[in-house]
Amino acid sequence: MDLIVKKLSKKKLVTENYMFYKNDGYLTPFLKCRLIYYFLKPIKSLNKKLNFPEEYKWYFTDFYKYKISVNPDNSIKFKGKIFLLVDDFVFSSAESFASFAKASNFATLVGTNTGGDGIGSDPAIMVLPNSGLVIRFPIDMGINPDGTSNFEYRTQPDIYVETTLKDYIDSCKYFEKFPGEKISKYDTILNKVLYLIKNEY
Full strand arrangement of the beta sheet holding 83-86: 83-86, 108-111, 159-160
With bands split at pLDDT 50, 70 and 90, how would you rate the model's confidence at 121? confident
The chain-wide mean pLDDT, for the chain, equals: 92
156-174 residue pLDDT tens = 999 999 999 999 999 999 9
pLDDT at res. 201: 63
**Residue 174: which residues within 8 A CB-CB, separation 6 or more?**
181, 184, 185, 186
53-101 residue pLDDT tens = 888 888 999 999 999 999 999 999 898 999 999 999 999 999 999 999 9
103 lies in some domain: yes
**Residue 65: which residues within 8 A CB-CB, separation 6 or more?**
16, 17, 18, 41
201 lies in some domain: no
156 lies in some domain: yes
65 lies in some domain: yes
Strand partners, 149: 143
* Domain tally, the chain: 1
pLDDT at res. 39: 93
pLDDT at res. 34: 86
pLDDT at res. 47: 78
106 lies in some domain: yes
194 lies in some domain: no
Helix (H, G, I), strand (E, B) or coil at 57: helix
190 lies in some domain: no
Q: What domain range is 70 assigned to? A: 5-162
171 lies in some domain: no
